[in-house]
A and B are shown apart, each in its own frame.
Chain A
Amino acid sequence: MDWEAVRLSLRLASASTLVLLPIGLILAYLLAFGRFRGKAVVEALTSLPLILPPTVLGFYLIVALGPRSPIGHAWESLTGSPLVFSFSGLLLAQVFTNLPFFLQPLVSSLGGVDRRLLEVASTLNSSRSGTYLRVALPLAWRGLLSGVILSFAHAIGEFGVVLMVGGNLPGRTRTASIALFDQVQSFDMAGANRTAMLLLGFAFAVLVCTAWLRGKDPLWR
C-alpha cells in the first residue's frame, strides 16, 4: 500500500474542502436567493465540472495556471515555484472540480427553507448575511453537511484532473487514485486491489452517510 499517496489524498481533500467552504457558501447564497443578471451563467459555470471530461477541464487548467498564463506567472514570481505540477496547483484545480458537489445539495436544501422565516428574521433587525448565517444555513444543515462530505469524497476520488494538472510526482502530486493507476501499470495486482478496496469502502460509506442525511431510507433498519 502506498501510504504516502493515501496521506496526500487526505491532505489534498481536506485542504480543498476548507478552501471550498467560504467560496461555496457565498456562491450557494447567490444561487439560492440572489436575483441578478447572468445567474444562469453562474449556475452553468459552477456545474460544468459535473459533465465536462476531466481531461478537458485539466487541459484548460494547465493553460490557465501554466507559467505563461498571467495567474501562473504571478504565482511563480511571488513564490518562486510553478503552480502546475505542485500541491497548490492541485488544490486550486480540486476546488473548482468539487464545487458542484458542494453546491448542489446545499442550494437545494436552501431552496426548501420557508421564505417567511427569512422575512421574519429581516424584520428582527437581521441583515441578509446575518439571516443567511443564523436562519437559512442552520435550517439547511443536512444540505450543508452533505455538500461537505460529497465534495471531500469527490476530492479523494478525482483522477483525471489531478493527473493532468499534477502530473504524477511521488509525495507531491501522486494521490491514492493515481497510485492505483501506477500499480496496475506495473502489474502489481495485489497492491492495486488493496488501494481499490480502500477507495471503494470509503466511497460506499460516504454515500450511506449522505443518503441517511437526506432523510431517505437508510441502508439499514
Chain B
Amino acid sequence: MALRANFTRDFSSGPRIAAEFQMELNRFGITVLFGASGCGKTTILRCLAGLDRPDMGAIFAEDVPWFDAASGRFVPPHRRHVGYVFQESALFPHLDVRGNIAFGLRDWSSQDRTHRVSELLRLMGLEGMERRRPVELSGGEKQRVAMARALAPRPRLLLLDEPFASLDRPAAEQLRHELRHVLQAMKMPVILVTHNRDEALSLGDHLLLMREGCICQGGSPTEVFAKPDSREAAELLGFGTVVRTRIAGRTEGLLRLLAGEIELVAPDPGGEFNEAYACIRGEGVSLERHGSGAVTQRNRLAGRVTALHHLGPLVRVQMDCGFPLESLITSWACEDLALAVGDPIHALIKATAVIVIPIEG
C-alpha cells in the first residue's frame, strides 16, 4: 500500500505549493516535512487530509483516488480515515477528555469504544484525566489528548502539524520520545511537519526538505543533514557558513578551494566543476586564541571576532576570516578564551567538516 501524491495548489499571494512524493502506508515510518515557516508545509498536509483542495494533479492511496484533477474526483476528509493533529491541539471545549478521544468512534459498539478509549488513555499517559475539561489541562496534556483522539479510530495515516511547537522544551522532548514508541507499536505511517532540526533528526525516518513551496531534497535525515545538495538546503539545515569558492587544485580525493584569497581544504565529492559552495556547520569550527603551531585540522584561518550571540549554553561566534565564518562553542569555552568583539582569533576546521556543493556550469 502506498500513498502517491503529485499535486499543486495556487494562492493569489505567495508561491505555488507543489508536492511530489510517495510513502508506504500500512507500516510504521515517520516522514518529516522540514522547512521554514510559511514555505507551504501545512498546505500539503491539508491537501492530504482533504481540508484543502489542490488545483492540479492527483493524490492516490493505493488505487483509490483521494483527489484527481483530471476526473474531478475529491474524497471528503471524513471518508479518508486520516488523523490530523493541529499545532494548538484544537480540543472540543464542550467535551471532556473521554468525549474528545471517543469522538471519532461513533460507529463503534459502546463496549469497543470504552475499551479503545481506555487503551489510548493508557498509551498516552492520560489515566485519571477522563473527566477533565480541556480548560483544565496543561499544554502537554492537551496535545496528548489531541493525539489520542486522532489515533483512536485507527486512521490509515497520521498527519502531525508542528505538534510540539506550542510546548515547552522538556514537555516536548518527553512527548516526542513516548510518541515514537506508541506510533511504532500501532504500525502507524506518519507525516510530521516541523521547522525544528532536533525534531526532524530524532523522529524522522525519511526527510523531505521544503523550500518556497517545493520539495527540494529527500532522503534519510542523517544523510540529508550531512549532505545538502543545494546552497538553500544547506542554509535551511543550519550550516552557519555557506561561501562561494573557486577550485584551486585537486589531489588524492581532496579539493583546494579559494574563498577570495583564503584557502580551504575539503573532501572532493567528484565530478566536473570549477566553482562550489563550501558549507560549514558552526559545531565544526574550533577556536584558538594564539596560533600554537602544528594541529591536525587542515584549515587554520586567522580572523577577527565580529559578533557574539548567546544562545543559552551555547555561543554563536561570528568572525571575519576573509569571508564571514561562524562557530558554535559552549559558553564555558567562550569565558575561558575571554572572547570579545574585535579580538583576533584563529579558526580551526577539519577538512571533513567542509561540505562541497558543486556549482554547475
Contact = CB atoms under 8 A, between A and B. Distances in A.
A20 B159 CA distance: 41
B93 interface: yes
Interface size class of B (residues with CB under 8 A): 20 to 34
A145 interface: no
A121 B78 CA distance: 8
Interface string A138-177: 1100000000000000000000000000000000000000
A119 B78 CA distance: 9
B107 A119 contact: no
B309 interface: no
Contact of B81 (A114, A125, A130): A125
A79 B163 CA distance: 62
B103 A114 contact: no
A123 interface: yes
Nearest to B85: A120
B92 A123 contact: no
B84 interface: yes
A139 B50 CA distance: 24
B355 to A, nearest CB: 40
A128 B51 CA distance: 12
A123 B78 contact: yes
A120 B86 contact: yes
Contacts of B81: 125
A24 B92 CA distance: 24
A192 to B, nearest CB: 46
Given A116-B86, A117-B92, A139-B93, A123 B150 contact: yes
B285 interface: no
Nearest to B94: A138
A123 B106 contact: no
Given A116-B90, A117-B90, A123 B82 contact: yes
A122 B106 contact: no
Contacts of B83: 123-124
A81 interface: no
9 contacts: A114-B90, A116-B86, A120-B84, A123-B150, A124-B83, A124-B104, A124-B150, A125-B104, A139-B93
Given A123-B78, A123-B155, A134-B103, 16 more contacts: A114-B90, A116-B88, A117-B93, A119-B51, A120-B92, A122-B51, A122-B76, A123-B80, A123-B82, A123-B84, A124-B104, A124-B150, A124-B153, A125-B79, A125-B107, A135-B94
A-B CB proximity, top 3 nearest: A124-B104, A122-B77, A123-B84
